[in-house]
A and B are shown apart, each in its own frame.
Chain A
Amino acid sequence: MLNHIWLWMIVLSILIAGGSDLVHEISSKPRAQTEQTAHRNLNKDTKIGQVTSAAIDAASLAVKISFGLIGVMALWLGVMRVAEEAGMIRILARIVQPITTRLFPTIPKDHPAIGAMIMNIAANMLGLSNAATPLGLKAMEELDKLNTNKEEASNDMITFLVINTSAITLVPATAIAIRASLGSTNPQKIVIPSIIAASMATLVGITTVKLIQYYQQKRKNKQTNS
């Protein structure tokens, strides 16, 4: 799936950028064109040039982001290791057991993956994005230990990911701050609507994932029977 989406994003952007440049070149007046050709910076003036520089900039930005993560990653992975050795993560996992056994039926009840996932979701709710990503990656690492096919994402990973991307944030701090800076009379007014919308997203996400898992299981059962 990601193969198709990724390829089409790139192909479409090249086609659209090239196409709009072509239309622009044909429709602009010939005289104006000859005057300007000498001074033109094709990298900035054409869409296709902008696409090229965007691609190059994004590649180095990706490395910057990855390296920027290392420090916080190390901090939280260190804390999590201490908590794990002390048995704190297991205690956490046991507290939320009634919910997690339904969402992740195949994960052993007090596996560290559960503790890490709960910490990640809690961090997301509080808007602590610096802590949320390292904790989420820790959870993925634990889920990977239970994964039978290391090439593919497991059902539990996808369930967790969907809960994570539709995460309910109690305080959408960034949106509130920008609203306040633009002179809103009531910047916090979006808190309740955001929580409602995010809950809906989570609900739809979990339902979708569970339905897909249900039908895939059914198909698998049929194949083994026949």
Chain B
Amino acid sequence: MDSLKIILDWLSILAIPLILFLFLGYGYYKKVKVYEAFVEGAKEGFDVGVKIIPFLVAMLVAIAMFRASGALDVLTYILSPITRLIGMPSEVLPMALMRPLSGSGSIGVMTELMKTHGPDSLIGFMASTMFGSTETTFYVVAVYFGAINIRNTRYALPAGLLADAAGLITAVYVCRLLF
């Protein structure tokens, strides 16, 4: 396990220099005017950054209001009888609800849970597995569709949230089995 971790750590540190070396080197070998092509591509960076602003403002404002209002507590209260049925302790429910909404918010919830229950407790394992296995779906939907100016996202968000729910519930079961 430890040697695997070392390999993976090295891989993630070496990945970017390796990609730069390979891609730019191969471009040079293929007689691409590397500097000119790079600058031409990089030009689009600014446009993308500006384009996503309205989408990100809309999404982050709604999420921030939702979090500040205590709506998550209300949701936790309503949902806890259901989640108890599937074996999810009610302590980790806020984590499951926060995860698709906010990256920094779920880091906060995870840290808090591990502080009070210990990182090696069942609840600590569940919270950190949940964090490690899913993404901030709301943010990704806003940024990815915002970058190409698409307003009608159709079934993207429900499908993403369903996938999240599957991941979160699996996290609960795997942790129960393993720890």
Contacts and interface: CB of A to CB of B under 8 A. Distances in A.
Interface residues of A, number: 107
B23 A171 contact: no
Interface stretch (A32-40, A94-102, A133-141): A133-141
B12 A166 contact: no
Q: Which 7 A-B pairs have the closest CB atoms?
A: A81-B41, A74-B45, A172-B132, A201-B167, A205-B163, A194-B132, A13-B69
Contacts of B174: 193, 196-197
B52 A82 contact: no
B15 A128 contact: yes
Interface in A91-121: none
A197 B62 CA distance: 28
Contacts of A143: 148
A65 B44 CA distance: 17
Contacts of B30: 85-87
Nearest to A48: B69
Interface of B: 1-2, 5, 8-9, 11-12, 15-16, 19-20, 22-24, 26-27, 29-30, 32, 34, 37-46, 48-50, 52-53, 56-71, 74, 100, 107, 110-111, 114-115, 118-120, 124-125, 128-137, 140-141, 143-145, 147-160, 162-164, 166-168, 170-171, 174-175, 178
Contact of B9 (A1, A80, A171, A186): A171
A22 interface: no
B162 A208 contact: yes
A212 B132 contact: no
Given A12-B71, A172-B132, A189 B150 contact: no
Given A12-B69, A79-B19, A171 B12 contact: yes
A54 B114 CA distance: 26
Interface in A58-84: 58-59, 61-63, 65-67, 69-75, 77-84
A63 B160 contact: no
Given A77-B42, A83-B27, A186-B120, A17 B57 contact: no
28 contacts: A12-B66, A16-B69, A62-B56, A71-B45, A72-B45, A73-B48, A81-B38, A82-B38, A83-B27, A86-B26, A88-B22, A131-B19, A137-B144, A140-B147, A153-B153, A162-B156, A166-B134, A169-B132, A178-B111, A182-B115, A187-B119, A190-B132, A191-B5, A200-B167, A200-B170, A205-B159, A205-B160, A209-B159
Contact of B166 (A144, A164, A169, A200): A200
Contacts of A84: 41
Interface of A: 1-2, 5-6, 9-10, 12-14, 16-17, 20, 47, 50-51, 53-55, 57-59, 61-63, 65-67, 69-75, 77-88, 123, 126-128, 131, 133-134, 136-137, 140-141, 143-144, 150-153, 157-158, 161-162, 164-167, 169-176, 178-179, 182-198, 200-205, 208-209, 212
